Structure 1
Amino acid sequence: MTYQDIFTTELDGKKRHGARLIDVREREEYVAGYIPDAVNLPLSELVGREAEIGPKTVLVCASGNRSSQAAAYLASQGKTDLMNLSGGMAAWRREGRAVHQGEQP
């Protein structure tokens, strides 16, 4: 497997162990609500910015589709230790987890 799917319940533990969270949704979607500590890097801008993605990266989008595409692409470019947040923001919100709005910190 080129990347690992993780569940929302696993994200805090991954972050505690150094994982970085990258939100690949478009800017408008991101500012409307994102997971705390997530950095926005839209899928549409990923090509050419691969160097910004290090190991232990969790990718998130609205449902898990775009983030899985991003993970597969990055793996094909030699990136390792990639994770996809299964269910994306939809699952995160369904569980009542914290969501920030506005510009990224």
Structure 2
Amino acid sequence: MMSFSNIDVAGLLELQNSGGVRLVDVRTDAEVSRGVIPGAIHIPLHLIPLTEMDWNIPTVIYCQSGGRSGQACSFLSAKGWNGLSNLQGGILAWVASGNALSRLA
């Protein structure tokens, strides 16, 4: 059973403005080197199962277009975590909406 939601760029911007969301980029190192959504942390998709983190904090997961982040949300929700959202269209939708990228800190 799917217990995560899909969110669009406008919804993500609202969450970021409220300050109550964690943003996780599950793309590869090479993809991340080209830029991330500001405020994101990087956890490659293959490391999600090994990551010791409280996933019950409201979290938006994204990738290039939404496929891999959907897999991560499915995996984590199957493990019982709540408060997860998949960014529809991924970073491509973010850029297409005119939003800037940043570099990882």
TM-score normalised by structure 2 residue count: 0.90
Query: Over residues 60-88 of structure 1, what are the superposed CA-to-partner deviations in whole Å (9 max), with x where a residue is unaligned?
Result: 10000000000000001111010000000
Contact residue 60 and residue 67 of structure 1 kept, 8 A: yes
Residue of structure 2 in register with 1:4 after alignment = 5
Q: Distance in 2 between matches of 1:82 and 1:53?
A: 8
| Structure 2: gaps (5+ residues) | none
Could you list the runs of 4 or more consecutive aligned residues of structure 1 that deviate by over 4 angstroms after TM superposition?
none
Contact residue 55 and residue 83 of structure 2 kept, 8 A: no
Residue of structure 1 in register with 2:81 after alignment = 79
Aligned residues: 103
Deviation at 1:51, TM superposition (A): 2.4
Query: Over residues 48-67 of structure 1, what are the superposed CA-to-partner deviations in whole Å (9 max), with x where a residue is unaligned?
Result: 11525342000010000000
Contact residue 55 and residue 79 of structure 1 kept, 8 A: no
The alignment status of 1:98 with 2:80, answered yes or no, reads no
Question: Which has the larger displacement, 51-60 or 20-29?
Answer: 51-60
Deviation at 1:96, TM superposition (A): 1.5
Q: Distance in 2 between matches of 1:73 and 1:60?
A: 14
Q: CA RMSD in A?
A: 1.3
| Structure 1: gaps (5+ residues) | none
